[in-house]
Amino acid sequence: MEIAKLALRNLTRQKKRTLLLGGAVAFGLMIVTVINGFAAAFVKNVSENFANLAAGHVFVEGVEKSATGKEISIVHDDNAIMKAALEAKIPAKYITKRSSFQSTLLYAGKTAQLQVSGVDFASETFLPDRLVFKQGGIEGMDDRQGVIISEPIAKRLGVEPGDRILVQMKTYTGQQNVGEFAVAGITFDAGIFGNMSGYANKSYVNELLNLASDDYQAVGFYLPSLEGMDKYGADLRAALKEKVQVFEKNTATNENPIRAMMESSKKETWVGTKYRVFTLNDMLSQVQQIVNVLNTVSLIILIILFVIIMVGITNTFRIIMYERIREIGTMRSMGMQRGEVRNLFLFEALFLALGGAVAGLVLASIAMGIVSLVNFGLDTPLFIILKNGHMTFRVEFWRTLLDVVIVAVLTLLAAWLPAKNAAKLDPAVALRTAK
C-alpha cells in the first residue's frame, strides 16, 4: 500500500494538471449522473401523474362481444372483481369505478376532441384536491351535466364556465348519440395527456352511453405507491381467473402489453363478460422505453466523453513518464520491480479517476439541487414529468456505481500503456536520460 501513498503524493506535484484531468473526469460523470437522475425521476413522476389521471395503478375492464363481433366495454356486476381484490390483498387507497367515452365537443361552430371520464364525485373524494382550476370549480359539478375541461380545450372552443356545449359520442353499443354539457370548471394546462381528458358525472356519462346508472366500464385500484403494482396485477388476475373469464397477459411479445391483449381479444369469441386486468406499467411501457433510450444515450455520452478524456490521460501519462524518467531509473536501481513501477502509475490514474468521480458526483448533486429548486408551476405542459411543479432527480445507487466503475476502468485503460512503458524502461537507460 506504500506505493499507493506515493502515487497519491505524486498527484500533488502538478496541481494544475491534476485539477484539469480530474476536472474532465468530474465533468463527464456529472453530465451522466444528471441525465440518469433525470431519467429515473422521469419514470416515477410520469407514473405518479398518470396514476392520478387514470385514477389507479391496477385496472380491471369488462369486455363483452356483441352479436356483430364488436367489443363492448362494460362491468355489470363487480362482485367477482371485489372478491378477487380481497383475495389478492390489493392495498387499495381508493377504488375508482369509471365509465368513459371519446367525444366531439361543439360550441359556436368550433369543435374539439375529448376523452370524457364519468366520475362518481361522491366517492372519488380525492379527485377535487388534484384538480387545479383556472376558472370555475368543483361546485359546478352539482349540475348533473357539468363537465371539467382543460384550458387548451376551453380556449379552442372559446367557452367559459356556465357555457353549455354540445357533445357527440357513441353509446356502448355503437349508436350515435348527442348530449349537452355545462362547463363547470377549467383546469390548468396539464400536458399532452391531461389536455385530452375531461371529467363529467358518471350518472350522466352512463346515460349518454346508454348504461344502467350503476354500471361502469373499468375499475381502478389506487395503490399507496408505485411499488409492487405488477405483482398485485398478476395476483388479481390469478384470483379473478378462478371466478370469471379473464384475458391472458401475453408476456411472450415485447410490444405494448395492452395492445397485445386487445389484438388477442379481437380473434377470440366468448359469451358474457370477459375481464382484462392491466396495470399502469402496462399502459406506460412506452415511457419505460423512453427512459431506456435516455439511459443508453447517457451511457454512450459517458463513453464518448471518456474516450476523449482517455486520450488526454494517455498523453499526460506519457509526459509524466518522460518527466520522471530519471526517478523511475532511481527507483528501479533501488530495487523497485517492473510491476511496482507499473502499479505506481496505475494507482495515480485510479486516484485521479476516483477523485474526479467524487467531485463529479458532488457537482451533479449541486446541479440537480439547483434545478429542482426551480418552480415550473402547475400550468405547464411539462406537468406530466414534474412533481408538484418541480423537476426531480433520482440517483440510483447501482447505476451510479456502474458509472464510477466504468470511469475507473477507462482511466486505468488509458494509463495502461504509458504505465507499461514506464515499467519496461531499462534502468540504465532511464538513469542516463537527462531531462
Partner 1 sequence: MVIVELQNVRKVYPLGKVEVEAVKGVSFSIEKGDFISIAGPSGSGKTTILNMIGCVDRPTAGTVLIADKATKDLTDKALTTLRHETLGFIFQSFNLIPVLNVRENIEFPLLLGKSRLQKKEKEEWIDYLIEEVGLSQWKNHRSNELSGGQRQRVAIARALVTKPSIVLADEPTANLDSVTGEQILELMKKINREMQTTFIFSTHDAKIVNIADHVIRLSDGLVTENLRKGEHVTASQVGLDTAEGGRV
Which spans of this chain sit near partner 1 (rule: CB under 8 A)?
A: 2-3, 6, 9-10, 12-13, 326-327, 329-338, 340, 426-428, 431-432
In whole angstroms, what is the distance from residue 236 CA to residue 238 CA?
Answer: 5
Is the Cβ of residue 374 or residue 429 nearer to partner 1 in the bound state? 429
Question: Nearest distance from residue 427's CB to partner 1, in Å?
Answer: 4
368 CB neighbour count, 10 Å cutoff = 21
Question: Nearest distance from residue 327's CB to partner 1, in Å?
Answer: 6
Is the Cβ of residue 4 or residue 378 nearer to partner 1 in the bound state? 4
R_g (Cα) of the chain, nearest Å: 31
Question: Nearest distance from residue 426's CB to partner 1, in Å?
Answer: 8
CA atoms within 13 Å, Cβ hemisphere of 256: 10
Is the Cβ of residue 296 or residue 333 nearer to partner 1 in the bound state? 333
Query: DSSP label at 173?
Result: T
Question: Nearest distance from residue 422's CB to partner 1, in Å?
Answer: 14
Is the Cβ of residue 14 or residue 135 nearer to partner 1 in the bound state? 14
Question: Nearest distance from residue 351's CB to partner 1, in Å?
Answer: 13
Question: Nearest distance from residue 309's CB to partner 1, in Å?
Answer: 25
Residue 391: exposure state from Cβ atoms within 10 A (0-12, 13-18, ≥19) = buried
Is the Cβ of residue 267 or residue 435 nearer to partner 1 in the bound state? 435
Is the Cβ of residue 91 or residue 339 nearer to partner 1 in the bound state? 339
User: Helix, strand, or coil here: 220?
Assistant: strand
C-beta pairs of 123-132 under 8 Å, 24+ apart in sequence: 123/96, 123/97, 124/55, 124/94, 124/96, 126/94, 127/55, 127/199, 130/52, 131/185, 131/187, 131/199, 132/187, 132/188, 132/378, 132/379
Residue 366: exposure state from Cβ atoms within 10 A (0-12, 13-18, ≥19) = exposed
Is the Cβ of residue 340 or residue 396 nearer to partner 1 in the bound state? 340
What DSSP string describes 239-288?
HHHTTSEEPPP--SS-S-HHHHHHHHHHH---SSEEEEEEEHHHHTHHHH
